[in-house]
A and B are shown apart, each in its own frame.
Chain A
Amino acid sequence: MATATLDSMLAGLAQDRATGSLKIGRAGTIFLTRGRVSYAECTGTPGVEELLTASGRISVGAVRKARQTATGESGPQSGGDLLVDAGVLTRGELEFCVLGATLDASYFLLGPALAAAADAGGARPAPKPRFRDGERHWLGTHWFFDVPGLFQECRRRKAQLDRAWPSSELDTRPVIPVRRIPGRHVVLTALQWEVLLGADTTATPAELAHRLGRPAYSTLLAVRELGAAGLLATGADHADQATPARPALPKRAERSGPRAELRPGPGADPAQPYLPQVSADPTDVKLLIRLRDALEALQ
């Protein structure tokens, strides 16, 4: 059974109409109900508990209580039904939350399997999944995905990420917004706003997702969109700083200090040929002042 990959195992469980949990190493768990995926959790993505409590609508205590009641032997009701009956969320919200969390976790759990399939046998050491027959998630079953449909959706999401911004370089490094935008105004979505506000120059997209209580995929998409709009520092910017991009300027007299009435103007940056870039770098300002002085002297 050394060849049992995640996708072949899931396909087999779907065919057997199995009910239980498939643990994928430390990465997470996929729950199946009669051969269809009813829930998935991944350590890298916020689960239903996090999504519900981060919104502020439901307290951590209410979720814990529902979980304890549901996992105890006493009640026949699932944790999800308990939350709906308590009136803290609607049936639709519960279903959408389960659906969203499952897709989010699946994207990161199944992603490596999809990539391996695309490599056509590119052997990458993956943990062997372990199936536990009959184990259910405490929330119960509220939405289903058939296994091929789930893989299909993961592929669609991958393609959507690549359409937004075809490079994965921003996916895992800290999110660093640029200090000045490469234009005069910018239109943001609600999530892009939250990402920019939450970015502390150390948190990665995955860490921001946990902090904001937003799905990791949505956060990643927002980060790539921000990157495409030129609002995030990219590897090119870091490289610019490492290599002496600016030619060393000859030293000049002290009198060419910055003047209050002079604003930093658009400079020609070879890295960004399309949009004017604004700089507050004192060296740039000094250069402009010297240019101005030289032009005035010509008159």
Chain B
Amino acid sequence: MDDTARELRVIGIEECLSEAMTIPGALDAILVDHTSGMAVAAEGVPYPEGSAAGLSEAFRATLDGLALSTPDGTIRIEDVIITTDRAYHLIKPMETMFDGPLLICLRLDPDRANLALALRRLQAISHRLIAS
């Protein structure tokens, strides 16, 4: 399959995670249902339930904090990028049509990862998983 066809094909949850893991520098990936804080699926995450709850909380805190600091009070997050001394953390919300959002969370090795490339790839993957 050539690259164009791959860019257009819709994917499922499992495939979304395995594709995220092919992003250069990816350490682990997890898909989280933000409303319930549940781990939907994970790859390379030792304790998915704890990670899902923590990432969900981090995203909620970011939303609440930014909503208060934004002039118009509404907020729509495209990506959350957190750099720590050991890793890059990317959290990308995907709006679903019935509940949600669904968060795709990726942890990257800062020595091997290219943040801009990772963001672009994550964006492409999210559009193929959720069309809206």
Contact = CB atoms under 8 A, between A and B. Distances in A.
Interface of A: 51-52, 54-57, 84, 89-93, 95-97, 99-100, 103, 143, 153, 156-157, 160, 185, 187, 189, 191, 213-215, 217-218, 221
A218 B99 contact: yes
Contacts of B67: 187
A155 B35 CA distance: 16
A103 B131 CA distance: 22
A160 B56 CA distance: 13
Nearest to A84: B10
B28 interface: no
A92 B16 contact: yes
A98 B132 CA distance: 17
A154 to B, nearest CB: 11
B49 A213 contact: no
Given A92-B128, A92-B129, 14 more contacts: A52-B97, A55-B98, A57-B97, A90-B129, A91-B15, A92-B13, A93-B130, A100-B33, A100-B98, A160-B37, A187-B68, A213-B98, A221-B35, A221-B36
A210 to B, nearest CB: 13
25 contacts: A51-B97, A52-B98, A55-B97, A55-B98, A56-B97, A84-B10, A89-B97, A89-B131, A90-B128, A91-B12, A91-B129, A93-B130, A95-B13, A96-B96, A96-B130, A99-B40, A100-B33, A100-B99, A103-B36, A185-B73, A214-B99, A215-B35, A217-B36, A218-B36, A221-B35
Interface string B121-132: 000000011111
Given A103-B36, A103-B38, A93 B97 contact: yes
Interface string B53-97: 000000000011001100001000000000000000000000011
The majority secondary structure among interface residues of chain A is: helix
Nearest to A142: B12
B98 A97 contact: yes
A157 B132 CA distance: 27
Given A160-B37, A213-B98, A90 B64 contact: no
Contacts of B12: 91-92, 95
A153 B98 contact: no
Contacts of A157: 36, 38
A90 B36 contact: no
B106 interface: no
Nearest to A48: B98
A92 B132 contact: no
A191 B99 CA distance: 9
B102 interface: yes
B98 A215 contact: yes
Contacts of A93: 96-97, 129-132
B11 interface: yes
Contacts of A214: 98-99
A185 B70 CA distance: 14
Nearest to B68: A187
Contacts of B63: 189
Nearest to A94: B12
A218 B98 CA distance: 10
Contacts of A156: 36, 38, 49
B59 to A, nearest CB: 11
A160 B36 contact: yes
B132 to A, nearest CB: 7
